[in-house]
């Protein structure tokens, strides 16, 4: 076991897969000599050269299109979005090419492509750098969406994403890069379609992902002292949702809260609520409750920014209200 930061876990996954497979390359703004905005590709250009760590112009639509063409010819590109918000400029390539080409080509082309980078609400990054694009990409057929949340799952999931023959949108949270954890030294990979049971419990199921995992854990630590027994599930796979694991938990607790940093309207929680109601309605003792970010552009002001995000106290109060 070795204690590493989350960004180091992503670096190790990229390095190991590049060493194992010469078809793997990274492209994006400042991924080469600068080492990436959050140092996920630090010094890899010294090891693999400037063509496998390709510094691109500031043109997301162009270099995402380049990655699509590279994937169609058999390479395995990893596109780093310096901030995932910038990939809105490549939305056409992601929606009309990345998601569709395997289908529109009648299966003649695979798209072994990973699009990864930092997203989520940071600390006073302003509205344009605080986007939660998982909701934007969720409606695009042909994409798999994953959100890592720990150094352990970040490394294992990224390795699986790189090895996949299908396109993966890989979300990292800007505030989790300096999270530390012991991870195995030996090679490992994790399934891209499975949720993680963070804590088992019997009173209520709390579904969450990414940074909100830690707000939920903080809330649950207090709830335990008040004799509540919540179950925590980290979704990890945002598309497809692991309804099997979610269903087993609901059949045990019969109550559900979704805690997300996504917007409430049209967010991940909205789709999750719909699927729970369709499949497990008879197991519910009450309505599915969503705790989501406010439906406004994220303010720059620090106190206003915090007011838009779900806080542990809200989670505590909601759990008590539902369970009582």
| Whole-angstrom distance, CA of residue 289 vs CA of residue 319 | 10
- For residue 157, give the nearest of 184, 188, 183 by alpha carbon: 188
Residue located via tokens 């088992």: 200
| Whole-angstrom distance, CA of residue 245 vs CA of residue 194 | 8
Residue located via tokens 């063509």: 51
User: Which residue(s) pair with 295 in the sheet?
Assistant: none
**Residues designated catalytic:** 60, 129
| Whole-angstrom distance, CA of residue 135 vs CA of residue 101 | 21
Q: Note every long-range contact of 62-67, with CB atoms under 8 Å and residues 24 or more positions apart, other chains counting.
A: 63/27, 63/28, 63/90, 64/90, 64/93, 64/94, 64/98, 64/115, 65/90, 65/93, 65/97, 66/27, 67/27, 67/113, 67/115
Alpha helices in 41-133 (DSSP H): 44-48, 60-72, 91-92, 101-104
N-to-C CA span, the chain: 43
Q: Residue 44 is encoded by which pair of tokens?
A: 């890899």
- For residue 259, give the nearest of 224, 293, 229 by alpha carbon: 293
Q: Residue 219 is encoded by which pair of tokens?
A: 């809330």
- Residue 234 neighbours by CB distance under 10 Å: 24
């Amino acid at each position: 076991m070795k204690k590493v930061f989350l960004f180091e876990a992503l670096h190790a996954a990229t390095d190991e897969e590049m060493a194992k497979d010469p078809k793997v390359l990274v492209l994006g703004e400042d991924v080469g000599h600068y080492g990436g905005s959050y140092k996920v590709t630090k010094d890899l250009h010294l090891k693999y050269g400037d063509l496998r760590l390709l510094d691109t112009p500031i043109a997301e639509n162009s270099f995402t299109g380049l990655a699509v063409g590279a994937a169609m010819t058999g390479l395995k590109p990893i596109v780093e979005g310096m901030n995932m918000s910038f990939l809105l400029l490549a939305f056409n390539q992601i929606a009309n090419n990345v998601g569709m080409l395997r289908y529109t080509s009648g299966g003649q082309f695979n798209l072994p492509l990973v699009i990864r980078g930092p997203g989520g609400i940071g600390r006073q990054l302003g509205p344009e750098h605080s986007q939660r694009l998982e909701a934007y990409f969720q409606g695009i057929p042909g994409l798999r969406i994953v959100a890592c949340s720990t150094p352990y799952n970040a490394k294992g999931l990224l390795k699986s994403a790189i090895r996949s023959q299908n396109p993966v949108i890989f979300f990292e949270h800007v505030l989790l890069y300096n999270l530390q954890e012991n991870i195995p030294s030996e090679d490992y990979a994790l399934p891209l379609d499975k949720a993680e049971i963070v804590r088992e419990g019997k009173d209520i199921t709390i579904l969450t992902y990414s940074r909100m995992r830690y707000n939920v854990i903080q809330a649950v630590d207090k709830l335990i002292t008040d004799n509540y027994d919540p179950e925590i599930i980290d979704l990890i796979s945002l598309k497809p949702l692991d309804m099997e694991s979610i269903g087993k938990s609901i059949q045990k607790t019969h109550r559900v809260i979704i805690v997300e940093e996504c917007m409430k309207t049209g967010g991940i929680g909205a789709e999750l609520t719909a699927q729970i109601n369709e499949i497990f309605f008879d197991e519910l003792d009450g309505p599915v409750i969503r705790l989501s970010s406010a439906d406004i552009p994220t303010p720059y002001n620090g106190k206003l920014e915090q007011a838009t995000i779900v806080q542990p106290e809200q989670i505590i109060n909601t759990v008590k209200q539902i369970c009582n």
